[in-house]
Amino acid sequence: MATVMATGNADMENAAVDLVNPRPDANVVMIGCGPGVGVVAAARRASNGMVVGLDPSAVMVERSRARCRRARVEHFTRVERAEAELLPLPDQSQDAFVSVNNIQLWSDRSVGLDECVRVLVPGGVLVVLLHTWAMPDAVPAEEWIAELTADLSARGVILESSQIQRFRSGPAMVLVGRLA
Ligand SMILES: C[S@@+](CC[C@H](N)C(=O)[O-])C[C@H]1O[C@@H](n2cnc3c(N)ncnc32)[C@H](O)[C@@H]1O
């Protein structure tokens, strides 16, 4: 599964990091980092900062750490087991929060979004990508995106863009916001 994700979702992980475009000294958290493609991509840019990859799966954490070692970015990356609902990060410590293909798996989205805004610095960027086919069946994609946008706005996140983009791996929501 980790190998399938590493190749199948690499286009989206890389696109998410392109959207963040981290400064060299940026602190970036990649939630649900899976096998770590985005962690390495972000670390290559934030080489004087710190990229934290978090995932509840021990297998994914191990895969992600191994990828960082192979890419020789282990000194400015940290990969740990954790869920979006309880981030092992201080308040206002992150310049960017990135979620690719995992927000639909959070057990409590409301708590996860609270955690996201807790750890972001004012002006910090939030990037969420999700394949439309991974959105819950019961709700049309437009409605699901509108709900997420409203939840973010209620937490002081200003939406900069929200669109459906076609990736090699399929169509996906691409949402970029910034904490006021
Ligand atoms: C479909 S994979 C995507 C992995 C990676 N972002 C990618 O696109 O290749 C979803 C990941 O979300 C993780 N996940 C599941 N529940 C989560 C939660 N509550 N908080 C954060 N990550 C979670 C899973 O362990 C898994 O690695």
In a mutational test of the pocket of ligand 1, which residue from 3, 86, 105 has the highest number of ligand atoms less than 8 Å from its CB? 105
Mean pLDDT of the chain: 95
- Please state, in angstroms and as integers, the Cα–Cα distance from residue 157 to each residue in 60, 109, 114, 122, 179, following that order: 29, 15, 11, 10, 4
DSSP 7: H
Give the residue, by CA position, lying nearest to ligand 1 atom 1: 101
Q: Point out the ligand 1 atom lying closest to the alpha carbon of residue 33.
A: 6
- What is the residue-wise DSSP string for 59-72? HHHHHHHHHHHHTT
pLDDT per residue as tens digits for the range 46-83? 999 999 999 999 999 999 999 999 999 999 999 999 99
Binning pLDDT at 50, 70 and 90, where does residue 138 land? Answer: confident
Give the residue, by CA position, lying nearest to ligand 1 atom 11: 32
Residue 159 forms beta bridges with which residues?
177
Is-above-0.75 flag for pTM? yes
**In CATH, what number does 2-179 get?**
3.40.50.150
Q: Residue 138, Cβ neighbours under 10 Å: how many?
A: 7
Rounded Cα–Cα distance for residues 110 and 72 (Å) = 36
C-alpha 1 – ligand 1 centre gap (Å): 12
For residue 116, give the nearest of 84, 90, 74 by alpha carbon: 84
